[in-house]
Amino acid sequence: MTPSPREAAEAQARSRFIVITALRFAGVGLVMFGFAIMNGVIDLPAAVGAVFVLVGVADVFVMPVVLVRRWKAADRRRP
């Protein structure tokens, strides 16, 4: 049995929410890892930690917006 259009839309929204949430959690993990490096808990140069922090912040704030825009553009192209 094929799902109704509403069920398909809900499943798609649910999976997109999970992807965005996982991306944000990964970003928070990168930020924490970067701060651990910068505080000397992990023996790597502080510059490496700063890069991890910047990438993590981008993952938390920028990438979800990019994904939503890409998904909306793809949805507009569908019939």
Domain extent listing, the chain: 19-77
What's the pLDDT at 60? 96
Amino acid at 22: A
AA identity, residue 71? W
State pTM to two decimals. Answer: 0.86
Flag residues of the chain having pLDDT under 70.
Answer: 79
From CA 7, how far away is CA 1, in angstroms rounded?
A: 12
- Tell me the C-alpha distance between 41 and 61, whole Å: 26
At residue 64, the pLDDT reads 95
